[in-house]
Structure 1
């Protein structure tokens, strides 16, 4: 075979001269700086993503001239309908569910009622325009619809003081003092956005919120582990370990004493531990997603067992903390690690194919753009992350708030949940990209590609009693997405669908008014219903799902015992990491 080998000197092609690494790096860095600058004007959205989506829509619209022409006829019919409404010949169009822009009675008076009807008819036409051409990529159609909705929300007459009867009446009645107060609110919010320290005397850490007595019993570079002091003479033999999401401060589950899940669990006779994640800075830019499992959950399990002995643990995860806990439980099952007694997942997704409106921000192009934004910072800031969530509900969280705060000069009465929401966290760049790409974009966990220690893990390997909670109005972890756990594991699964949203549905203490939930057990290898059939065939119950969860935990637990000793204290709860800003 030697005669088939071509000598190197016989190759006549001129080798390419590689571009100097310094030049390549410099060009990439300049592009990153450009993208970071662009993000200031695009709310973190990649302009390429939106442009390609609108190009896709426009190309299909041009190639469907007859459908596009129908839009012109529809516009004429809408104008005719508005004319008939003006003459009083037809009933008024109702506001969509959840739309409070025109709820004030003044909007039903002439001439404002005609403005409302014009807006609603125009929005109907725009929706038909977005949905019109067939053949558009579904993701692109969602992006076009989302951006169209943002534009319509922005130009709504309710946002302009001279069109809004509430604002004009308040300005007249207060001689403009509402606008002066609103300008002061605006200046304070701008200072907060620039990172100026904000003190809320109503809800101080360790006093009014995060005040359940306990001790920090373990600490490493990524998290603190808090153990709470017992309040009952006996406790369940198996402790509860709570894993919150790293995108939030843990005390969403330890707010005021009246609505603290942690305090309530302790009062039910549970030994409770919770992970308090560190608020990362730029020095943690290369922290990997798996480190949150290995240095977070697994180190916490080790510490809990050192304190409580070899007893098994009721593991509970909230939001992405629940997703991470599922990964850890699957890896433990693969390795034959039997230290968990049960798995409770609160508003936590394991399959991300129906991850809701957040998918608007998760495309390959968008993630590249986001990576460039984080490159110089090392983290994603709370303001950048919070901006995306706000745009998902821009009417409620952006425009309606702006009217109240800046035009009417009012402020909402402070609440513990509002104080917690303002206490944001950063996200390490590497970890953030790994979970967005691996979980949201590629759905690696559900499809068996997610690796721990170089080996894939499978949710189906978990052989534990499971309790999963979805919330009806969740725009972060839609309940139908949470429900998909039924399809990934055939074990015994109790599923709860509770009223409320991603936060208020979970923080749903007994005695809270207007709370309800549905609950059903799917037995091991039992028949799995579709989500809509499940809801139709599962009757609602009044009250808090916490009580049903407590009964479920009791059913998975052994006899009660004397409370275990507290671990060696490093600090009083709520610890130091939760105070980092």
Structure 2
């Protein structure tokens, strides 16, 4: 009978195989050239403010931590008699520890419980720090959450039971595949979230038929082909954010807001911004406002109409507010029949976690990153990833680096990784004047195109959409728009966040939205009396648009892309969306 008390020695073949795995890993790292990481965009986390700690609070915190640590060891050494680990609902739902090994195997259960215990005490200690104002405390919370998420045992091969099991099952192939994924990301200077070969603009995303009919050095104007016999007399122009590609509103056909708007009988135009390069080093906010006005005037002239409906998404919505103020000051407010804001802020007094990146140290660091007058778009992508590090960074470290999994095709994540460069001086001014100093809502504090801005002069009918879980433009911040415009404002709170809350087609049957016709002084008051409607808010929006004017014209002549006085330059989605 063999002696089962002694460990089984690996065979010569096994030893040769694992030696090859380690050798191949070293070779891959050498071939990739780790020094390529020096070319990747650098980002910093917000600086932790100076603080003091009350000795009594420190002693109590230490005692609490010691007590919880003793309970933790008792559960590990004598689980039958120990007090059970009381998980919070959030901890019970934590996707990082959904694998059964985290609870069924004592060592990994101990790792999970110890991590959650330490993380809980670290976050509690933030609340006990003295000498911090509200902003400093929130910055410290943000930095602590980032550290806590980074140190999860699920992020390390030696403490992730799935990674260990996968390595054994595949005889190390998963580790090599994961290393290959990591080195590829280091070389491109950007974290990969989806299969980079699965999507291509104009092939299976951004496919709504249309033509580029106008081009400037800053943008292309796309006119989409009508699909109805008649269209609303007043056309629509959409201004997407220039920090991303416009096709977030034209993903796959079933998700496309642009395609849906065309099907509702709208003449739809979209601005496609050029990704910045050295030729745009001189661009400032005035140029983006001028571009919006130019697009409005170009469409009015092309279709011989007095006004257009406008949509501004995120930062382009902030700019649309400035555009409306300029038009009002010039006596040309009637050029905009309406204005719709998708998750856009004008009052940045409560602008959320992005404010952690606009202190003097951060602004100086961002300025140092500029090359030839523009900022590499990978920096902004990394910053936005940090805002949701658990989902957008460490989830992919675990799945694609440690487990060596293939990337799943996902159109939204493809768009998220399709970054655009930004004019450096304008981006610096945007962060300083708006995020840091909140000057847009101070009448006369900012001037654009020689016009002092005063949002209180804007009387354009306005539809404001906010996302309930938006971490980039918090709903409370977007709500503040209602306090600054003088015209009629309809506010709609949508389920989900900055992207899914906007890109929510009716056919999907997802989420919900809230409306309230009664006057409300705060978002809390709005919600308390709001009516909840299941599904997409898009039908509510088109009903609001039609209520402003439902006259229609035949979809012929200039309503067909390239058939009016503006000849087609190139098929949609155009050239600028492909420029890197």
TM-score range (shorter-chain normalised) is 0.7 to 0.9
Pairing 1:200-279 to 2, within 5 Å after superposition: 200-279=196-275
| Cα drift, residue 303 of structure 1 | 0.6
Structure 1 unmatched runs, 5+: 1-37
The one-character-per-residue Cα deviations of 1:338-364 (angstroms, maximum 9, x if unpaired) are 111111000111111111111111112
Check conservation: 1:209, 1:254, Cα contact below 8 A: yes
Q: Is 2:452 the counterpart of 1:456?
A: yes
C-alpha displacement at 1:573, in angstroms?
1.0
Structure-1 residue corresponding to 2:547: 555
- CA deviation string 1:374-421 (max 9, x = no partner): 2x4421112111111111111111111111001111134212212212
What corresponds to 2:25 in structure 1? none
For the residue of structure 2 that corresponds to 1:232, the secondary structure is coil
Name the CA distance, whole Å, in 2 between partners of 1:189 and 1:366.
Answer: 24
1:122 deviates by 0.8
* The 10-residue stretch of structure 1 (534-543 or 261-270) with the greater mean CA deviation from structure 2: 534-543
Match of 1:192 in 2: 188
| Runs of 4+ residues over 6 Å off in structure 1 | 38-42
8 Å contact from structure 2 (residues 504, 510) kept in 1: no
Q: Unpaired segments of 5 or more residues in structure 2?
A: 1-36
Distance in 1 (alpha carbons) for counterparts of 2:323 and 2:543: 25
Higher mean alpha-carbon deviation, 278-287 vs 237-246, is at 278-287
1:66 aligns with 2:61: no
- The reply to whether residue 78 of structure 1 matches residue 73 of structure 2 is no
In the TM superposition, residue 373 of structure 1 has moved relative to its aligned partner by 2.1
Please, which of 60, 69, 83 is the counterpart of residue 89 of structure 1? Answer: 83
Which of 279, 298, 305 is the aligned partner of 2:293?
Answer: 298
- Contact between 2:310 and 2:339, CA under 8 Å: does it hold in 1? yes
Corresponding residue for residue 491 of structure 1: 487
* Counterpart residue number, 1:532: 524
Query: How many residue pairs end up in the alignment?
Result: 529
| Residue pair 2:234, 2:305 contacting (<8 A) in 1 also | no
SS in 1 for 2:288: helix
Structure 2 equivalent of residue 288 of structure 1: 284
Counterparts of 1:393 and 1:214 in 2: how far apart (Å)? 35
The structural deviation recorded for 1:142 is 2.5
* CA pair 259-99 structure 1, distance change in 2 beyond 3 A: same
What is the Cα deviation at residue 539 of structure 1?
3.0
* Partners of 1:492 and 1:521 within 8 A in 2: no
Write out per-residue CA displacement over residues 414-460 of structure 1, whole angstroms, 9 at most, x where no aligned residue: 12212212211000111101111111111111222221234421222
TM superposition shift of 1:187: 3.0
Alignment partner, residue 345 of structure 2: 349
Mapping of 1:85-484 within 5 angstroms? Answer: 85-86=75-76, 87=79, 88-94=82-88, 96=90, 99-111=94-106, 112-193=108-189, 200-294=196-290, 296-337=291-332, 338-374=334-370, 376-448=371-443, 449-484=445-480
Structure 1 counterpart SS, 2:231:
coil
Question: Which one is further off, 260-269 or 567-576?
Answer: 567-576
Q: Could you tell me how far apart the structure 2 residues matched to 1:84 and 1:492 are? A: 63
Classify 1:80/1:42 alpha carbon distance in 2 versus 1 (closer, same or farther; 3 Å). Answer: farther
Deviation at 1:541, TM superposition (A): 1.3
2:84, 2:417 → 1: CA distance? Answer: 46
Q: CA RMSD in A?
A: 2.4
Distance 1:280 1:555 in 2: 39
Task: Give the Cα separation in 2 of the matches to 1:451 and 1:286.
Answer: 17
TM-score (norm 2): 0.86
User: Shift in Å at residue 490 of structure 1?
Assistant: 4.5
Change (3 A) 1:544 1:560: same
| Cα distance, 1:538–1:411 mapped onto 2, change above 3 Å | farther
After TM superposition, give the deviation of residue 467 of structure 1 in Å. Answer: 0.7
1:542 is aligned, of 518, 522, 534, to 534
Q: Find the aligned partners of 2:373 and 2:90 in 1 and give their Cα distance.
A: 41
1:63-109 Cα offsets, whole Å, 9 max, x none, are x3222222222222222332454434234323627742112222111
**Structure 1 residue 246, shift from structure 2 partner:** 0.7
**Which residue of 2 is the match for residue 33 of structure 1?**
none
- SS state of the match for residue 531, structure 2? coil
Greater CA deviation, 88-97 or 491-500?
88-97
CA 1:521/1:324 → structure 2, altered by over 3 Å: closer, same or farther? farther
Q: Partners in 1 of 2:480 and 2:509 — Cα distance?
A: 29
Supply the distance in 1 between the matched residues of 2:355 and 2:574 (Cα, whole angstroms): 35
Q: CA deviation at 1:369?
A: 2.2
Q: Which residue of 2 aligns with 1:22?
A: none
CA offset at residue 120 of structure 1? 1.3
Q: Contact between 2:237 and 2:268, CA under 8 Å: does it hold in 1? A: yes
TM-score w.r.t. length of structure 1: 0.86
Q: Shift of the alpha carbon at 1:200?
A: 4.5
Aligned partner of residue 484 in structure 1, secondary structure:
helix
| 2:505 corresponds to 1:509 | yes
Structure 1 residue 559 displacement after superposition: 1.3
Structure 2: distance between partners of 1:259 and 1:116: 38
Structure 2 residue matching 1:235: 3-state secondary structure: strand
